[in-house]
Amino acid sequence: MSVKKQFLKSEPICKVTFRIEKEIGKPYQSASVVGDFNNWNAAAHPMNKLKKDGSFSLVAEIPTGSVYQFRYVLDGNTWVNDNEADGFVNSPYSDAQNGLLDLKK
């Protein structure tokens, strides 16, 4: 998995590219990015499945100036972290962790 950031100079926005590789995404039909930036709403940032290889990707415009918690949701019920997150923090749910997305300039 990967997260790539492109900070815009003209606006306080970062274009963030989220990607789930085919090895993880192929058996799933859907994926979403959820986090503090979208109130953990799986419908807010659905990812596109690439038919060619089964990977998922999404480019999202997220406000800068904060560190956000996030995860991926696969098929609506499997929660996974991005191993290339900027860090990890304990989730308030069970023994899970959330990834961190640092968009402070």
**pTM more than 0.85:** yes
Q: Which helix (H) or strand (E) holds 22?
A: helix 22-25
Can you give the residue ranges of every domain in the chain? 2-102
Architecture of domain 2-102: Sandwich (2.60)
* Residue 11's pLDDT band (cuts 50, 70, 90): very high
Q: Which helix (H) or strand (E) holds 23?
A: helix 22-25
Q: What are phi and psi of 36, to 5 degrees?
A: -55, -35
Q: Which helix (H) or strand (E) holds 74?
A: strand 67-74
Q: Which helix (H) or strand (E) holds 57?
A: strand 56-63
CA distance 43 to 21: 21
Mean pLDDT of 69-92: 94
pLDDT tens, residue by residue, 15-45: 999 999 999 999 999 999 999 999 999 999 9
Is residue 9 scored above 80 in pLDDT? yes
